[in-house]
Amino acid sequence: MNRTSSRSLDPTREGQELRSGLLPFEPLELLAARSRRLADLVESISRRRDVRALRARLLVLLLELRCPVKGRPRKGWYVPGAVARLSVEAMRRAWRGFYGEEPPAPRTLRAHLGLLQRVLALVRSPGDWVEVVPPSARWRPRYADTIHVLDDEEAVERWLEIGQPVLERRADIRTNPDAWRRHLGTWRTRSRAKQLELFQGRSAPAGRPEGLEDRVRAEEPVARGTALARGLGEALLVRDHDALDVLRALAAQQVSLRGRPSFELASNLPRLEGAAALLARALARGDAVRNGAAWLVRAHRHAKPAELAQARAWVLSVGRSPP
C-alpha cells in the first residue's frame, strides 16, 4: 500500500478527533475542504445522505493515502499524485486505521469505486507485474491497481485531453502496465496547450451498481451551460458591472441565491464571477448538478484562484463570440 500522510498515522489531537468523529463537520464538508470539485460531484450524483457520506469518506481516505503530485517518491513504484497498489482489502485496513471503525464490505467498496470512476472522480491504472520465477508468458500476476484522484478541474481536463483518447484507441492499456507506462505514464505532468476548451460530456455506460440509487450524467441540457456562459460573458464585458448583474445572469438559468449566501457571494465580486463561470463550464461539459445554488456557494468558498481565473477567461471568450 502507498505511503500515508503523517496526519493519518500520528496520534495528534487533530487526527484523533477526525477518526473519532468529534469534529462538527459532515463528511461532505470534510471532503470540500480538500477538494471542492469532488464534494460537488458526490453531492450531484448521490440521492441518499448515507451514500453521500460513504463516498465522501472514501474520497477523503484516498486523498490522505496518495503520494504528493510533486516531489521525489520514496519507493520506485510509488506514483506521484496517486495511490499505488491499493487493493480493496488494503483500503479496508486503511479505513480501520484512519476512521477507527469497521469499513464497508468489499462488494460495497467495489461498487462505489466503479461509480466514482464512471463520473471521473478517479482513474485506475493497472498495477505493476509481480515478478515470478521462472518468468511465464501465460501467467503474469499483477499488483493491485493504482488509483489517480481527479481532485480539480485541471486534472479532469488533462485526463480528457490526454488520457481518455488513448484509452479509447487502445483497450489493452487497461490491463497492461507496460503499455500504460509507455503511452500514459506522464499524463498528469505532460505539458499541454494553454488554450481553454469546452469539453463535451461523455455518456456513461449503461447500468449501475446493484442497490445504489444515483444520478450519473443525468440528462442535463448542455445548452443550459452554454446559455449561462453567454449571459455571464455579456454581463462581465460591461465595464461597470456589479454583483447584481452576475446574480441576474445566474437567475436567468434557474440558479437563484437568497438570504445570507447571496450577500456572502456578492461581497467578493471576483470570486463570484469565477464561481459562476465554473458552474457554466460544468453544465456545458454535461456534469450532473443537483443543486446549482449549493454548487455555486461551495465553488465560491473552496475553488482555487487559478480555476476561477481560467473559467472566467473562458466565459469572456464565449461572451465575445457571435451567437
List per-residue pLDDT tens for the chain, 323 residues long: 444 443 444 434 444 444 444 444 688 888 988 888 899 889 888 888 899 999 999 999 999 998 877 766 667 677 878 898 889 999 999 999 888 899 999 999 999 999 999 999 999 999 888 887 776 667 788 889 999 999 888 888 888 888 888 888 887 888 888 888 888 877 876 543 333 333 333 333 333 343 344 444 444 546 777 788 888 888 888 888 888 888 888 888 888 877 777 788 888 888 988 888 888 888 887 777 778 888 888 888 888 888 888 888 888 887 776 65
pLDDT at 222: 67
* CA atoms of 311 and 286, how far apart (whole Å): 16
Overall number of domains in the chain: 2
* 11 domain residue, yes or no: yes
Ramachandran category for residue 259: left, alpha or beta (phi over 0 → left; psi -120 to 50 → alpha): left
* 206 domain residue, yes or no: no
Q: Are residues 34 and 141 located together in one domain of the fold?
A: yes
Mean pLDDT of the chain: 77
Boundary of a domain, candidates 156, 184, 212? 184
* 23 domain residue, yes or no: yes
Q: Are residues 97 and 165 located together in one domain of the fold?
A: yes
Boundary of a domain, candidates 127, 160, 184? 184
* CA atoms of 9 and 203, how far apart (whole Å): 40
Q: Which residues contact 44 (CB under 8 A, 6 or more apart)?
A: 215, 287, 288, 289, 290, 295
pLDDT at 149: 92
Note down the domain range covering 287.
222-320
Q: Are residues 69 and 178 located together in one domain of the fold?
A: yes
* 201 domain residue, yes or no: no
Q: What is the CA radius of gyration of the chain?
A: 21
pLDDT at 137: 66
pLDDT at 245: 85
In sequence order, the β-bridge partners of residue 124 are: 147
Q: Are residues 179 and 226 located together in one domain of the fold?
A: no
Phi (first) and psi of residue 97, to 5 degrees: -70, -35
pLDDT at 6: 37
Q: Are residues 179 and 237 located together in one domain of the fold?
A: no
Q: Are residues 86 and 24 located together in one domain of the fold?
A: yes
* CA atoms of 274 and 222, how far apart (whole Å): 19
pLDDT at 135: 67
Burial of 254 (0-12, 13-18, 19+ CB in 10 A): exposed
Q: Are residues 46 and 157 located together in one domain of the fold?
A: yes
* 203 domain residue, yes or no: no
Q: Are residues 268 and 177 located together in one domain of the fold?
A: no
C-alpha distances in angstroms, 38 versus 57, 248, 317? 11, 27, 26
Q: Are residues 91 and 232 located together in one domain of the fold?
A: no
Q: Which residues contact 192 (CB under 8 A, 6 or more apart)?
A: 158, 161, 162
Q: Are residues 88 and 135 located together in one domain of the fold?
A: yes
pLDDT at 73: 64
* 165 domain residue, yes or no: yes
* 169 domain residue, yes or no: yes
Residue pointed to by grid coordinates 451498481:
209
* 217 domain residue, yes or no: no
Boundary of a domain, candidates 184, 211, 235? 184
Q: Are residues 164 and 302 located together in one domain of the fold?
A: no
Q: Are residues 35 and 135 located together in one domain of the fold?
A: yes
